[in-house]
Amino acid sequence: MSGQLTSKIKIPKSQVELINLIFAELEITFHNQFHKAFPDEETLTLAKQLWLAKLEKYQNEIVFRAIDKIIETSKYLPSLSAVLNQIKELKDIPFKIAVEDDGKSFFKLTIKVREKIVADGLSENDYDVTNVGAHLTAKQWNKAIDDGAVVVDMRNHYESEIGRFKGAICPEVETFKEELPVVKDLLKGKESDQVLLYCTGGIRCEKASAYLKNYGFENVSQLHGGIIDYVRQINENNSIENKFVGKNFVFDERRAERISNDIISNCHQCGDPCDQHINCKNVNCNLLFLQCEKCKEEYDSCCSLDCIEVAKMPEDKRKKLRKGVENKKIYYSHKKVKLNLKA
């Protein structure tokens, strides 16, 4: 790599200049991400050196220094929080920090303007979205569960199947829009009971609690900060019991964060214990489902025999097959597809 690349350019005296030239020559997308993630020029340079260590074979001393500096970059989150707190509209905005971060959690910050942060299929006049339920800490949440409150998982089925609070109602739905009326019907007759709602980070519960209150549910509460902040609180306070079992589904390359050692779901193909989601190797299908390592090897990471055949086709043939077909199954449940290949 080094010989091919540096032969095209004049080697500068400064190693930093060389690093910058290499990044410019390769036009690497990560270049911009490095600039966003590392707060000062020294750390940025060392981060680049670490990345290039595999290519340029820098001395171990430099690599270790880079690692130390990169570890220190966890400080950039509080500094970002301080900056945002100076903006009136963003003051005290909560941060959700990954429970498990193997480098595959969200790589970059994307800001989009949307009419609704969570699509619910309802108009603004259907209910008062500001009339939300009470926000509970992890300790208050656990006490409410112990007192016999009704617990409802406001996430989709493919999320709750790998992890949930013990005894929670988990609707068989695949979209939030679909879930609201389903939950209302499931809770019929419990309008006076204490109802607890939870989701990944708390956003969906903001709408769900207001929706239920609009339909006469008198005592609706929600887990403040969702599962992510619940775990943070119990990790910081050993006296708080963890009532969440399994994994917390997340929408990035990790697919999930392990919260407890319990495996509460099964492989969709053989039925063995499994909580590892995978997208079908056939990109024309892309179905999200649970597949154990044994079935992954046996079925070549595919969900069906047909997909095994398609996945083996040349890319040009697969491209023709999916032409004009909108792929929506990346987060769809196996419930709509028969996956038992031996049946």
Per the prediction, the chain carries an average pLDDT of: 78
The yes-or-no verdict on residue 322 having pLDDT over 90 is no
Average pLDDT over residues 155-168: 95
- What is the rounded CA–CA span in Å between residue 127 and residue 245? 33
The SS3 assignment for 153 reads strand
Whole-model pTM?
0.70
Nearest in space to 133 (alpha carbons), one of 49, 207, 222: 222
Catalytic residue among 170, 199, 285, 302: 199
134-257 maps to CATH 3.40.50.410: no
- pLDDT the model gives residue 122: 83
Alpha helices, H only, the chain: 2-6, 15-26, 30-37, 41-56, 60-72, 76-85, 138-146, 157-160, 176-186, 203-214, 226-236, 293-298, 305-311, 315-322
Q: Looking at residue 232, what is its pLDDT? A: 92
d(CA 282, CA 165): 33
Type of residue numbered 169: I
- pLDDT per residue over 95-125, tens digit each? 777 777 666 666 666 667 777 778 888 887 8
User: Cα 296 from chain centroid?
Assistant: 22
Residue 131 clears pLDDT 90, i.e. is over it = yes
Told to judge if 199 belongs to the known catalytic residues of this protein, a careful annotator would answer yes
pLDDT of 28 reads: 39
Mean pLDDT confidence for 276-303: 92
- Dist CA 109 CA 271 (whole Å): 38
User: Which of the four pLDDT bands, split at 50, 70 and 90, describes residue 35?
Assistant: low
Q: In the chain, where are the structural domains located?
A: 2-77, 134-257, 277-336
Least confident span in 14-23, 240-249, 268-277: 14-23
The C-alpha atoms of residue 167 and residue 170 are separated, in whole angstroms, by: 9
CA–CA dist 202, 134 (Å, integer): 12
Query: What pLDDT is stored for residue 30 in this prediction?
Result: 45
Quick check: 16 pLDDT over 80?
A: no
DSSP 8-state code for residue 314: -
Which band of pLDDT confidence, cut at 50, 70 and 90, is reported for residue 46? low
Cβ(171)–Cβ(253) below 8 Å: no
Lowest mean pLDDT among 75-79, 100-104, 156-160, 218-222: 75-79
